[in-house]
Structure formats: C-alpha cells, structure tokens
C-alpha cells in the first residue's frame, strides 16, 4: 500500500496565555518543588564557651512556595575543632524567636545515657594527631516538617548553627584550617541547600 503524504497547513499556534501554569500546590505529593543553595563564605575561628553560641555565617533563610511543604535542610560544612564541640540546629519562623530543632533521641542504651540530643559532635586534639589542623567536609541532613515543630507558613524560615565547647579552651574553625602557620592557612567554602518537598 502506498504511503500518502499529508500536507496540512491549518494547524494554528497555541497562544501562550492558554498554557496553564503548574504551581507547586498542583504538583503530586513528594515532588521537589524548589531547591535553593546558599553559600557560607564566612571563615575564621570561634572561641567557644561551655554555653551554646552562634557560629558566624551559618544563619541562612528560605521561603517556601507552599505553606505546608517539608524542607530538607542540608548543611555541607567545612570545619574542624580544637578539643570537643557540640553542634545544634536552630530555627526561626518569620520574625519569631529561635528554637532548637533536631534534638535527637533521649534515653539509655547499654548503660549509656543521652546527656544532650544534638546535630553533631567533634573531638580533635592536635597532641594526638593532626585532625585538629585539617578541614573536614561533613554533610548534615535534617527533614523539617510539622512533626518537628514547623508551622504552616510562607514567611521566611531561618536556620543557624550554634555550638558549645567541652571546655573554655575549645574552638571551632569554619572554612579555615586549624593550623595558622606559614604555608598552612587555607580557606574554603561551606553551603546550605534547602529542598522543598510537596506533602
């Protein structure tokens, strides 16, 4: 059977105004509807106390497109410590106050009792090895949602890291080596990525 070529020229164009806009609210559940990465360029040494204090440069904000979506918060941290330090994640919604989130589990296991639920811990001592001199690249993920105290809002949500030392001699080095001698004083860049997930 012979093929017949159809030359149909009556097809019109679709006006742009007729193409529907697909908003985040119309996306299926579990869809990624927004991704935002903020660089953390501040670098330097923070002298710690035995109480939690801010780590400069880690305060970063994100605004959701859908008021009840989840936020996967991913910190890519380039840091090291001198002696022991403990990290906490803090959240502020709109113009409210900061509250600690992701406090971790509590209870006792094999005779070990949780002293403090935290985001992360470090212990480096340059008298034992050179870990305190280097820069470590560590990824911290936290899925923020209503079960973690995240309210339904499209106000800006701001996160920051706070830190305390095991002693008053503890230090945290963000985006910089712990070694400040000639030829060893290097800097780098951390970041935080916010991934908005449709509920």
Write the pLDDT tens digit of every residue in 30-43.
999 999 999 999 99
Asked whether residue 128 carries a pLDDT value surpassing 60, the answer given is no
Which percentage of the chain shows pLDDT scores above 70?
88
What pLDDT is recorded for position 127? 62
CA distance 33 to 53: 33
Least confident segment among 3-7, 119-123, 153-157, 186-190: 3-7
Give the global pTM: 0.84
Mean pLDDT of the chain: 88
Asked whether residue 162 carries a pLDDT value surpassing 70, the answer given is yes
């Amino acid at each position: 059977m012979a093929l017949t070529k159809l030359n149909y020229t009556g097809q019109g164009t679709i006006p742009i105004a007729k193409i529907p806009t697909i908003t985040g609210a119309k996306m299926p559940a579990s869809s990624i509807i927004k991704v935002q990465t903020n660089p953390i360029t501040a670098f330097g040494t923070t002298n710690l106390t035995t109480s939690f204090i801010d780590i400069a440069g880690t305060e970063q904000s994100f605004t959701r497109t859908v008021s009840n979506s989840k936020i996967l918060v991913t910190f890519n941290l380039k840091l090291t410590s001198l002696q022991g330090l403990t990290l906490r994640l803090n959240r502020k919604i709109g113009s409210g106050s900061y509250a600690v989130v992701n406090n971790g589990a509590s209870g006792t296991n094999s005779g070990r009792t949780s002293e403090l639920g935290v985001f992360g811990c470090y212990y480096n001592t340059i008298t034992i090895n050179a870990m305190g001199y280097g820069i470590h690249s560590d990824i911290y993920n936290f899925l923020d949602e209503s079960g973690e105290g995240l309210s339904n809002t499209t106000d800006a949500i701001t996160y920051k890291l706070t830190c305390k030392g095991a002693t008053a001699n503890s230090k945290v080095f963000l985006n910089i080596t712990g070694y400040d001698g000639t030829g060893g004083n290097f800097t780098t860049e951390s970041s935080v990525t916010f991934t908005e997930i449709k509920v």
